[in-house]
Amino acid sequence: MAERAEQEEIFSQVLRAGRRTYFFDVRATKAGDYYLTVTESKKFTHDDGSYHYQKHKIYLYKEDFSDFTEMLTKATNYIIDEKGEEVISERHQKDYKKEEEVAESKSTDSFTDVSFDDI
């Protein structure tokens, strides 16, 4: 536990995003330098009403800031360039249909009614 006390949060920010919460915490190393932890916490509710949180944490050190920022920027720019900023997901749009569903509905909706008496 002594190690925990040395890793006290120096600066913190919280981003709440639906069932997920992101914590950005600046902490100090034993040598007194700073590093960043990013924690994703997601709430899961059980059928009986009880719940638990699942957490994932990454540690980011100063020597990696530049490369990490560059890779994050490239990845997020790629997503926006390819898919735009509009959120497309089943959870965010009630009328969302997967591409396969759209293709199926088009193929079944666009058949031609043929009378075999005409042949």
Inform me whether the pLDDT recorded for 92 exceeds 70: no
Percent of the chain with pLDDT over 90: 55
Write the pLDDT tens digit of every residue in 38-73.
Answer: 999 998 888 998 989 999 999 999 999 999 999 999
Its pTM surpasses 0.75 = no
| Greatest pairwise CA separation for the chain in angstroms | 89
DSSP 25: E
Q: What is the DSSP letter of 40?
A: E
Domains of the chain, earliest start first? 2-106 (3.10.450.700)
> Is the pLDDT score of 1 beyond 60?
no
Residue type, 1: M
What is the C-alpha separation between 34 and 23, in angstroms, rounded? 16
Q: What is the chain's mean pLDDT, rounded?
A: 82
Burial class of 24 by CB neighbour count within 10 A (0 to 12, 13 to 18, 19+): middle
